[in-house]
Amino acid sequence: YAVVCILQYKQSRTFFSFLFSASGPAEVPMMSPNGSIPPIHVPPGYVSQVLEDNTGVRRVVVTPHSECYPPSYSPALSPSHHIHPPYLTHPHFIPASHTSYYPPVSPGDMPPHQFYQHRLPPIYPEGKLHSPHALLSLNESFQMAIGDILYTFWITLDLTVCVFYRVSTVCNSVKGPSSDARAFTTHSAPPDTPLPPRLSHRTKSSLTLQWKPPADNGSKITNYVLEWDEGKKNSIFREYYVGHQRHCKVMRLCPAVGYTFRVAALNDIGTSGFSTEVVFNTTGSLPQTSLPPRLAQAGPSWVRLEWTRPNSCSIEEVVTYTLEMQDETKGLDFQAVYSGLELNRKVETLKRNTQYKFRVSEWRSAPSSLLVCKTTSDRPGPPVNPAVNAVTYHGFCVTWEPPQDDGGSGDLTYVLEISEGNLEGISEGPERKHLCEDLKPATSYFLRLSCVNVGGQSLCSDDLTVRTRIPPPGRCQPPSIVGDVKHKEMTLQWDGPLCGEESENVEFSLEMCAMEEGLEPMEVYCGSKTECTVGNLLPGTTYRFQVCAANSAGVSHPACMIQLFMNDLRNACSDLNPQNKVSSGIDISEYRLDWGCDLDSLELVYSGTETCFQIFNLEASTDYCCRLQAVNQAGAGPYSDLVTCRTPAAAPDVVSGFRHVDHPLNPTENEPFSHSTCLALTWDEPHCNGAEITSYSISMGDRIITTRSVTGHIIRDLLPDSEYSLQIRAENEMGPGPFSQTLTVRTRPLPPSPPRLECAAVGPQSLKLRWGFSSRSQLTDDTTYILQMEDRNQRFVVVYRGPSHTFKLQRLSESSRYRFRIQAVSEAGEGPFSDTYTFCTTKSLPQTLKAPRVVQLEGNACEVTWESIPPMRGDRISYVLQVLGGRDSDYKQVYKGDETSFQLSGLQWNTDYRVRVFACRRCVDTLQELCGSFSPSAHFNLRRSDATLAVEADITRVPIGKTLSDEQFAGLIVFGVASLSVLMAFLLQLLI
């Protein structure tokens, strides 16, 4: 036997058949919402057993009891036995219950006594239908008894708005009478999502679109909304058309460009979702790109550009060109500097020696590629403040300052012109100092300066006149005796200075000193002549004479000659040889001169008949002594008294030990030392040769550097990574000594410049800093970075040292400012520190709250409570409560305030709800609101109490009439179905 319930409505017929038979045993899979097995009612003579397989699926086996029914006995009815099904009442809408179980939708042949698999029904608000999908029930207790088994039926339908429904039953193709028709209307809803628009026509500048109307869901569609992305491909849509028409023409478009569209429908209930996005392209080819402009000429403040007329333009067509310029010093945006018909343009008021970018376009073409050009440098101004120092007999040093206007280019070459009579000389170079050497003494020279860059040569500075110093006379030759030596007088003669370029009159001074202890030399002659007769001499006395020259520049070094006068020598000889007294010294045949540093070191240096002798290769500023002996035919006479003398001082010896050191011997705090621009030199002090060393001169190419008498010096302002050749000499009051051997040294490369410091990420208690390569330095993999942060005492302390380019600082205070600086260190040394950077941490977000607590109150209300958060650094805390329930897909905000509880009212019975809460921080200083994360959601279901259920049961007993509600009508249907089930069970029992 089979019982078939047929639902019929005027649009189509849908059959739902339920087949039942009584032949056991049967194995029935069961399912309930909470996983428990519902109570199983079996007829007399049958037993049930629950089995569970390996997969956890529970099954119920119903078998006949052995005492009542033999195993081979199976009650059944003849297939030809027809019983008319009972009459069904009209259907009602009733809310579903959590305790209801639904049979499978599709009918079919099932084993005898099978219980059908059930599923949890959808939940609807009591007495309301919010969508076309509702639950249709055939009476509350539609039951049918087959044998001793009672079956209950529920049917779910996808309803259509404003459609009549009737219910009837079929048993073995015998159809029972249909129920009365019941009219009802589901509530309206927003339209369905429409299909995407389609293209009906397109041109180069327009697109015509059409779309079909979607299902209105019970409320007439009033408008359509067409949105587009304006061809920007940025996923940002704007409204283009709003109206009731189902077509639209989009105008003023660009050729060969794709545009994205989507459409939505509106009715009185709401707006549908937007359709899927579609892209339509206008016709035409891509716009031609203009040719880039050309640089025709450039000046310090202007450039002249030219461009070509497009080949696609006819001769009669008027073409307007737009020239755009980008100034990188002001920004990255292009600005139009010309718009017109000409094919060239002079752009003025530009900065000299500056790079600019240009592009050109005409109204229908895309901008051309970029032309990068640069203005030229201007002619610089003349150097300023020329000065002359260190003037000597053969040279001087010229210094000057750079021009006030360098013409926009810092690469200058200075030109120094020197003239003297018809002789001229030119010196060029980047240095602002020049040493003029090998000049004539006591000569006037005329100087003028100019400078040159790529823009040209500047005007010359005012002429500067310099005169070299007049040198003092050179050393005179020792005086010599003219004629015979008399008893009381003698005549001396001498030559002029050894090196005497003399421009003024020179006077000579002759000094005489008797070789007796304690006597000072006395001047016996002063004049311009080179000959003098000295009288009033004592016979047999030794005299010392020296002559020196003097002019306006100074006095020459004296020329020393030791002369022994022996007018009475013949008397001494006569005393030794009485036979030769009458000879008066005429018979002296030889003089012998002994010379040495002291008495023990005397050696014979001369033997002969001359009465004078010159000794060379003596050491300067050294004491010497000598004695003389005469020899005649009688023999050698006695030695004269010991005569002492001292050689004059001389220029210093050559400097030895000239070397380069890594660190200066006497560093100064005011002038920092850098191995890239400085050289530290040291040397050994040479022999001064009787006069204290006053200075040292270091030669470096064309540059002479004069230092004090110390044995170390630092040369500054050098070029990094450059090689220099150096020599040094010492100077005293006697003059400069010889230059030392050449020392070749090289400066180190420049230390790396500090990188730019940036804040990559910021948090309430952390800052992540990063830095990159500096444009002014060549950083290598061996570069080390030193990051410093200012502490509370305004001192910078090192927080990171290493090769990385990022560093994250932790455990900082929220909303606080921190100051940093950074430097780079390489093999060239420590680079300078960067400027100070200031970064600020953000404010902390409120913490995530725990899941709120829900307490059900009387009626359909509940109270939601949550934990509180204390104020954060003086900022107040507010809370936001959100609820998700029923068929809503998104949470809705129901409360925002300072309280930590809220009562929800007007809730629906037997409906799942979820609530969540988050905290917001109200910042007093910035008026900003910072919101934390959502708390975990709390789930609750508002259930009716027993009293409420009793009241509702009484309501269902109201007699059927015009005032019956939908719930009451549904109850009657259930009652009818139950009665029909009892009747069918009774009939089956009679047949059996």
Longest dimension (CA), the chain: 205
Range scoring the smallest mean pLDDT among 14-18, 397-401, 803-807 = 14-18
Q: Residue 635's beta-bridge partner residues?
A: 632
Look up tokens 């992305």; give the residue.
229
Q: Which fold has domain 853-942?
A: Immunoglobulin-like (2.60.40)
pLDDT at 911: 86
CATH number of 198-281: 2.60.40.10
Look up tokens 């790396």; give the residue.
752
The superfamily CATH assigns to domain 294-374 is: Immunoglobulins (2.60.40.10)
pLDDT per residue over 889-898, tens digit each?
Answer: 889 999 999 9
Average pLDDT, whole number, for the chain?
A: 76
Domain 656-746 has CATH 3.20.20.100: no
Domain 384-467 has CATH 2.60.40.10: yes
Q: Residue 62's beta-bridge partner residues?
A: 26, 48
| Residue 926: φ, ψ to 5° | -105, 0
Tokens encoding 239: 């409204």
d(C-alpha 665, C-alpha 182), whole Å: 115
| Residue 609: φ, ψ to 5° | -95, -10
**Residue with the larger pLDDT of the pair 540 and 832:** 832
pLDDT per residue over 775-793, tens digit each?
Answer: 444 455 678 999 999 998 8
pLDDT per residue over 608-655, tens digit each?
Answer: 988 888 887 888 888 899 999 999 887 888 888 888 888 888 889 999
Q: At a CB cut-off of 8 Å and minimum separation 6, what does 521 contact?
A: 511, 512, 513, 544, 546
Tokens encoding 800: 């990171």
Q: At a CB cut-off of 8 Å and minimum separation 6, what does 866 contact?
A: 849, 850, 852, 853, 879, 881, 900, 901, 917, 935
pLDDT at 321: 87
d(C-alpha 474, C-alpha 494), whole Å: 13
d(C-alpha 303, C-alpha 348), whole Å: 7
Tokens encoding 341: 């018909």
682 near 659, Cβ under 8 Å? Answer: yes
The one-letter amino acid at 235: S
404 CB-contact burial (10 Å; exposed 0-12 / middle 13-18 / buried 19+): exposed
Confidence of residue 768 (pLDDT cuts 50, 70, 90): very high
pLDDT per residue over 302-349, tens digit each?
Answer: 999 999 887 767 677 678 888 999 887 777 678 888 988 889 999 998
First-to-last CA distance in the chain?
14
Most confident of 266-280, 393-407, 438-452: 266-280
Reply yes or no on whether the pLDDT at 877 is more than 60.
yes
Look up tokens 């079996």; give the residue.
42
750: helix, strand or coil: coil
Tokens encoding 308: 């070509």
pLDDT per residue over 536-581, tens digit each?
Answer: 888 767 788 888 888 877 777 666 554 444 333 333 332 333 333 3
Q: Which fold has domain 756-840?
A: Immunoglobulin-like (2.60.40)
* Cis status, amide bond into 754, omega within 30 of 0: no
Please report which helix (H) or strand (E) contains residue 397, including its range.
strand 396-401
pLDDT at 773: 60
947: helix, strand or coil: helix
**Percent of the chain with pLDDT strictly greater than 90:** 27
Confidence of residue 950 (pLDDT cuts 50, 70, 90): very low
CB atoms within 10 A of CB 915: 26
d(C-alpha 225, C-alpha 243), whole Å: 7
Reply yes or no on whether the pLDDT at 96 is more than 50.
no
Its sign, for the CA torsion 322, 325, 330, 333, is positive
Confidence of residue 512 (pLDDT cuts 50, 70, 90): confident
CB atoms within 10 A of CB 351: 13
Reply yes or no on whether the pLDDT at 8 is more than 50.
no
pLDDT at 504: 57
DSSP class of residue 36 equals P
Confidence of residue 982 (pLDDT cuts 50, 70, 90): confident
pLDDT at 132: 42
**Domain 480-566 belongs to what architecture?**
Sandwich (2.60)
Reply yes or no on whether the pLDDT at 114 is more than 50.
no
Confidence of residue 518 (pLDDT cuts 50, 70, 90): low
pLDDT at 226: 95
pTM: 0.33
Of 2.40.50.140, 3.40.50.10480, 2.60.40.10, 1.40.20.10, the CATH number of 588-647 is 2.60.40.10
Tokens encoding 51: 């089995």
Domain boundaries of the chain, sorted by first residue: 138-185, 198-281, 294-374, 384-467, 480-566, 588-647, 656-746, 756-840, 853-942
Tokens encoding 46: 């049958």
Evaluate whether 480-566 and 853-942 have a shared fold.
yes
